[in-house]
Structure 1
Amino acid sequence: MNRLTASLFAVAVASLCWMLPAAPAQAQQPMQPLDTIVAVVDDDVILRSELDIALANIESQFEGRRDQLPPRDIFERQVLERLILTKLQVGRAASMGIRVSDAELDGAIVDIAAQNNMTPAQLVTQISADGMTAADLRASVRDEITLQRLRQSFAQSQISVTEGEVDAAMANEASGNQYHLAHILIGVAEGSTPDQIASAQARAEQLTAQLEAGAIEFQAAAVRYSARPTALEGGDLGWRSIDEIPPAFARIIAGMQPGEIFGPMRAPTGFQLVKLVESRTGASNTPVAVTQFQARHILIRPGEDGEAAARAKVETLRARIAGGADFAELAQQNSQDEASADRGGSLGWFAQDGYGADFGAQVAALKDGEVSAPFRTAAGWHIVKREGSREVAATDENARQRARATIGQRKLEQEWDRYLRELRGEAYVDIRLPAASGS
């Protein structure tokens, strides 16, 4: 059975802290005579009970430091916006034919339980103690897998990296420097008037002065004031190499000292403040080992018959393989990947991201000799058989692949933010909360 990658385990488990349906809220909070709608999102709604449990679970993560949270009305808006974006992304994924089968979902939950040293039954018992149900768990994990696949599909179709960009990154790689960053965005809505823009700039400058004077911690300020999705994580961006930092910031950050704050800097979405939390020098001369995989695959592209027909065909082929049919023969006869079909679907040896992050994650999750469940990428429906794996010394081409992936990830972050803003702007959203203070 196909399994999620380790990175998804953490995201999926963390998502349970706020991406949950309405039912558990009734178990954790006093019964209300009538559940109300707090937002209409296209053809869907978000209920007061959904928002309440999301708020309660985030508050539990701030136990002992509740003073870092913004005023209640602003906090509600922040969390509601997360729920709105989740609904919009799930809806867009559904319209693109992105689906998560019950078998894939079962496998994901098995692996999430295993990551926490539990059986699936023990995992359900654990979340039940917090008022959640097995149905809540399945809904949350399904949504998280769906969102990950939507992002991967977007990356494959929208993000490209030139050889010139890779050459420049290779020239910078010798330093090996990495930077731990945090970020605050004082948002400016599209179509804002000059007065509104000036007001946002004044707020950003005032906040910068407070930060530099030590009147407020950067993490607390991000939670209270930032319009970025990372606000409730204190604006933390984690560790970045210089090629993962937008060019507008890269040179400035490279010259900063830990603890320094840069900004405010004007951006399309508002005024940005960036803090260098700490820096470190990576190993520059230490040989790096990379994992390569050998695999075969079968690709079925959706045609005139539609998505369902392509999925049905690939599931039939998977059943025949499970019944003993030869993978290479079926690939030669059925695969629509012209580059590999004549070789029985053989892809040779390749790095994990050699055929895209989504495909690579599926291969990495298998054991040698194991065949995946059908899965979807931007190219179509696949079955993959992993035939081997090996550790090899990093070559110049390996380094170029890593640089290409790093640049692609940085571009993806920038374009994905823009995509989500467009998705939000195009949607019909009717928020039925009182206006937040200061808005």
Structure 2
Amino acid sequence: MKTIGDLGGEFTAVGRSMVRLAGRIGLAAGAGALVAAPVAAMAQTPAAQAANQDDPGANADLNLPANPASFGTPPSQFRGATAIVNGAIITGTDIDQRLALVLAANRNEVSNDELERLRAQVLSNLIDETLQIQEAEASEVGVGAAEVDATYNRVSQQNFNMTPAQLDAYLRSIDSSPASMKRQIQGELSWQRILRRNIAPFINVSEEEVHERLDRLKADRGTEEFRLGEIFLSATAETKPQARQQAEQIMGQLRQGGSFVAYARQFSQASTAAVGGDLGWIRLAQLPPELAEAAGQMQPGQLVGPVELRGGYSLLYLIDKRKVLMADAREALLSLKQISISFPAGTSADQAAARAKKFAEDVQGIAGCGAAEAGAAAMGADIVSNDNIRVKDLPPQLQDTLLALPQGGITQPFGSASEGVRVLMLCGRTDPGMAGGPTFDELMAQIEDERINKRAQIYLRDLRRDAVIEYN
């Protein structure tokens, strides 16, 4: 089962940033100068051409014809503005490069209709990022290029297992660019600074509130908690049909293997988008009734949605669940031995079945873990040991089986003719201690985060409302 950490490895810090505006203007001016020079030469008046003929040195190095003819279609190396946000330009190239990040994370083919919908959502995200960057600069907490570059370098190593140069090359290979990812990084860092400066100082949580919640936790000992991921798409009464269609299309991509974290970061309109939609550990009573009903019927790794809410639609992903202040048996650490056999190429199904049956009989005759190596050698099997396997990290279909095994017990053989057949032998188990629950400081931080997130949604809504946005 994938966790938010595993999904985050696929995409999680796809990062937000943009080259500083002055740098972008400088680059654009330089490119424009290179393109304009030959055009100016071709557009000379007859008098100017005559002057050049009188002075052979004027174009002797270029040897330009007096009346050049153009062939083919001009290359589309320049894109006009798609949107202008308070004077800042978002081009079609910006959208294409960000869209390439989404498609690379999704790893699925998308229809033309889906592609156009994704483009529209990417443009909306770029507008929000631009507003966040502008607000940070207006509040004198803008993020500099050096900090963006440092974050980009860290992301390349921690999330992509690449050097910055390798990540540069990878992004270009998928028709994106380092600048597109850096724009995301800058947007995220800018928004974090805005929240720390303009919202967090005005959030107050009293000690009485924290103690009251701690008391409720103790009273709720044994109640189930859920760690959920959410993609929220806001909608008014007029836009609900379009929002539902968008939610269903995203759900279809997720069911085909798309990255939940990637879609949450790009398309969720909740403040948790920056962390891949992760809501953290919550109880059903903390959720709106519609979400609580859906989450209560989910199993870890399951997707549900779209769920209709008063303000839009939500897609839910259940990362994990546990019981309040209770030890989770799936946190137990196991010491396992894996005994396996493989089949030579060309083995028929009947031959594989016969060999697997004999293997199952032989492993049952192994007298405990101490005799596992000798028993495996006698039957020509391979053996591998691992003394630090957490139950919840195993495939879901094996977890209950291993939790029910006695010391020295062996699972039923499992596998296939192509991958071989194996069994697991339980050689030790360390059960987790009783869960202590959150500390006072942890719970206070959690309440503060909840309130900051609510204020952040209102803040961004106001930025959109007051912005001057021109669309092409």
With normalisation by structure 1, the TM-score equals: 0.52
State the Cα distance separating 1:114 from its structure 2 match: 3.8
- Rg (Cα) greater in structure: 2
- Alpha-carbon distance, 1:407 to partner: 1.8
For 1:404, the equivalent position in structure 2 comes to: 444
Percent of aligned pairs sharing the same letter: 18
The answer as to whether partners of 1:98 and 1:150 remain within 8 angstroms in 2 is yes
Query: Which amino acid letter does the alignment assign opposite residue 95 of structure 1?
Result: A
| Root-mean-square deviation (Å) | 5.0
- Aligned 1:179-190 pairs, distance under 5 A: 179-185=227-233, 187-188=235-236
- Within 2, Cα distance between the matches of 1:428 and 1:51? 19
Counterparts of 1:162 and 1:255, CA distance in 2: 30
Report whether the alignment pairs 1:159 with 2:203: yes
Letter in 1 for 2:233: L
1:146 to 161, 179, 190: 190
1:236 and 1:103 mapped to 2: Cα distance? Answer: 25
Q: In structure 2, what is the Cα distance between the partners aligned to 1:56 and 1:134?
A: 12
Contact 2:325 2:436 in 1 (8 A): no
Secondary structure of the 1:39 match is: strand
Q: Determine helix, strand or coil for the equivalent of 1:430.
A: strand
How many Å apart are 1:52 and its aligned residue? 1.9
1:91 aligns with 2:134: yes
Q: Secondary structure at the match of 1:66?
A: coil
Corresponding position of 2:14: 14
Provide closer, same or farther for how the CA distance between residues 415 and 219 of structure 1 changes in structure 2, counting only shifts above 3 A: farther
Question: Take 1:158 and 1:176, find their aligned partners in 2: how far apart are those partners?
Answer: 32
Unpaired runs of 5+ in structure 2? 1-7, 29-73, 329-433
Q: Distance in 1 between matches of 2:162 and 2:203?
A: 38
Aligned mate of 2:308, from 255, 264, 270: 264
The equivalent residue for 2:63 is: none
CA distance in 2, matches of 1:70, 1:185: 18
What is aligned with 1:229? Answer: 269
Once the two structures are TM-superposed, the CA of residue 98 in structure 1 deviates from its matched residue by 0.8
Change (3 A) 1:112 1:407: same
Q: Please tell me whether the aligned partners of residues 178 and 239 of structure 1 are also in contact (alpha carbons under 8 angstroms).
A: no
The match for 1:284 among 317, 322, 325 is 325
- How far off is 1:42 after superposition? 0.5
Helix, strand or coil: the match of 2:117?
helix
- Alpha-carbon deviation of 1:94? 0.3
Conservation of the 8 A alpha-carbon contact between 1:13 and 1:112: yes
Give the letter aligned to residue 192 of structure 2: Q
Tell me the matched-pair count.
Answer: 294
Query: Aligned to 1:75, which of 102, 112, 118?
Result: 118
Displacement of 1:93 in angstroms is 0.1
TM-score calculated relative to the size of structure 2: 0.49
* Structure 1 residues 19 and 64: CA distance shift in structure 2, 3 A: farther
Contact 2:97 2:176 (C-alpha < 8 Å) held by counterparts: no
Match of 2:471 among 413, 431, 435: 431
Alignment CA distance shift 1:427-1:400 (3 Å)? same
Query: Is the contact between residue 262 and residue 274 of structure 1 (CA under 8 Å) also seen in structure 2?
Result: yes
Compute the displacement of 1:102 (Å): 5.3
Shift of 1:416: 1.1
Q: Secondary structure at the match of 1:38?
A: strand
Cα 1:65/1:401, change in 2 over 3 Å:
farther
Cα distance, 1:204 vs structure 2: 8.0
- 1:165-211 alpha-carbon deviations (Å, 9 max, x no partner): 323431343346124243443511xxxxxxxx2x5567789999x99
The DSSP-based 3-state class of the residue aligned with 1:177 is strand
- C-alpha deviations, 1:120-152, integer Å up to 9, x for none? 444445445456666666555444433332233
1:350-429 → structure 2 map (5 Å cutoff) = 399-429=439-469
In the alignment, structure 1 segments of 5+ residues that lack a partner are 1-7, 25-29, 189-196, 288-393, 433-439
Shift of 1:161: 2.3
- CA separation of 1:274/1:283 partners in 2, compared to 1, >3 Å: closer, same or farther? same
Q: Distance in 2 between matches of 1:117 and 1:203?
A: 38
Aligned equivalents of 1:415, 1:276: Cα separation in 2: 24
Q: For 1:159-178, what aligned pairs fall within 5 Å after superposition? A: 159-173=203-217, 174=221, 175=223, 177-178=225-226
Query: 3-state DSSP class of the match of 2:205?
Result: coil
**Aligned position for 1:59:** 103
Partner of 1:312: none
Question: Deviation per CA, 1:69-128, whole angstroms, max 9, x where unpaired?
Answer: 854443222110100011110000001111335554454344334425544444445445
CA distance in 1, matches of 2:242, 2:180: 40
Classify 1:201/1:165 alpha carbon distance in 2 versus 1 (closer, same or farther; 3 Å): farther
Measured at CA, do residues 113 and 93 of structure 1 come closer, stay the same or move farther in structure 2, by a change above 3 Å? same
Q: Counterpart of 1:40 in 2: which secondary structure?
A: strand
1:38 pairs, out of 57, 67, 82, with 82
Native 8 Å contact 1:20 1:53 kept in 2: no
User: 2: CA distance between counterparts of 1:56 and 1:206?
Assistant: 22
Could you say if the C-alpha distance between residues 406 and 162 of structure 1 is closer, same or farther in structure 2, counting changes exceeding 3 Å? same
Render the CA deviation track for 1:205-244: whole Å, top value 9, x for unaligned: 9999x99xxxx759579979x984379x9x9733532269
Which residue does 1:238 correspond to in 2? 278
